[in-house]
């Protein structure tokens, strides 16, 4: 069962983070099923996934295992991407959308509106990380 938990608990953490996004959207009355496939937002489901994966591998195989080293590298890359590159894309999308809004109507029809929130703030990353770690701790207590 422990080897299966390395897959199941991270997937559960991902689902929990996404469900929290849905609850937040419902509370703010901005709900759309599209929220389930969007990037960005609170909490980071990507962080929940990689934090839970690294935590579960550390629990099952130990901190000195090659699998934990790989999971830790994946965690660092994912967090760096979400707070760095994808946050930069947020700023680019905002500027491009403003430029498109100023174009004559005929030219606007050919250009799609770019999603402006695909990156994460540090708080969103931390929240996802906490969800991921707690999912593993509680999951292993219950299993």
How much is the average pLDDT of 1-17? 88
pTM (predicted TM-score): 0.83
CA dist., res. 19 & res. 137, Å (int) = 19
Could you report the per-residue pLDDT of 52-96, keeping only the tens digit for each?
Answer: 999 999 999 999 999 999 999 999 999 998 888 888 888 888 898
121-132 pLDDT per residue, tens = 899 999 999 999
**How many folded domains does the chain comprise?**
1
**Contact yes or no for 41/123 (Cβ under 8 A):** no
Mean pLDDT over 34-40 rounds to 69
Within 8 A by CB and 6+ apart from 8, the residues are 139
**In terms of residue numbers, what domain contains 124?**
2-142
Residue-level pLDDT at 28: 77
């Amino acid at each position: 069962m422990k080897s299966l938990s390395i897959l199941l608990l991270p997937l559960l953490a991902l689902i929990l983070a996404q469900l929290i996004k849905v609850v937040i959207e419902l509370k703010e009355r901005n709900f759309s099923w599209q929220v389930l496939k969007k990037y960005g937002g609170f909490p980071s489901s990507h962080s929940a996934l990689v934090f839970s994966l690294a935590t579960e591998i550390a629990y099952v195989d130990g901190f000195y295992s090659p699998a934990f080293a790989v999971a830790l590298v994946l965690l660092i890359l994912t967090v760096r991407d979400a707070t760095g590159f994808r946050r930069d894309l947020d700023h680019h999308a905002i500027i491009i959308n403003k430029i498109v809004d100023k174009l004559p109507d005929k030219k606007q029809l050919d250009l799609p509106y770019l999603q402006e929130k695909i990156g994460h703030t540090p708080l969103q990353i931390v929240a996802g990380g906490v969800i991921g770690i707690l999912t593993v701790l509680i999951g292993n207590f219950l299993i």
